């Protein structure tokens, strides 16, 4: 097993990315034959109800997680909520899931999509760099 610091966590909902400000987080690669990961994050209690509903619905969620260093690209996961615990005025959320395979041609697809939207020159470069960090969903062609 390998343990890493979770820097940020964002829920994906359709084309929308919902950043959740964590107080702390850890991610564990179990390095087993099932390729399972365990994520635990510590949040303000206002997020408790949201995660309890996802847990009750047995929903699989998609998330983008930055691991170890803020400048790392987000990794995409498909996760299930395992437990939600109130700790004082905060909440601990334990999730389990798998790393989602990223399309290897993401950069090329992003660049093509931005050019189709009319971006060029410095605006294209700035938007491309920004989107490579945030990794928005691309339109399927």
Residues 7-64 pLDDT 10s: 999 999 877 889 999 999 999 998 888 889 999 999 999 999 999 999 999 989 999 9
Residues 73-111 pLDDT 10s: 888 999 999 999 999 999 999 999 999 875 557 788 889
Count up the domains in the chain and report the number: 2
3-state helix, strand, coil in the chain (%, to 5): 25, 45, 30
In this prediction the pTM is: 0.71
Domain check: are 92 and 127 in the same one?
no
Q: Give the residue numbers spanning the domain of 45.
A: 2-99
Among 37, 42, 41, which Cα is nearest to 1's? 37
Q: Is residue 139 part of a domain?
A: no
């Amino acid at each position: 097993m390998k343990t890493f610091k979770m820097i940020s966590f964002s829920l994906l909902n359709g084309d929308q990315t919902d950043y959740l400000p964590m107080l702390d987080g850890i991610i564990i690669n179990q390095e087993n034959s099932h390729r399972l990961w365990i994520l635990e994050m510590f949040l303000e209690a206002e997020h408790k109800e949201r995660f309890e509903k996802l847990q009750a619905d047995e929903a699989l969620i998609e998330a983008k997680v930055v691991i170890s260093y803020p400048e790392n690209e987000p990794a995409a996961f498909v996760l299930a909520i395992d437990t939600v615990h109130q700790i004082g005025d905060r909440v601990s959320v334990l999730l389990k899931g798998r790393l989602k395979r990223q399309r290897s041609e993401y950069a090329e697809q992003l660049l093509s999509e931005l050019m189709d939207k009319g971006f060029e020159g410095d605006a294209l470069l700035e938007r491309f760099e920004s989107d490579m960090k945030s990794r928005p969903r691309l339109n399927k062609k």
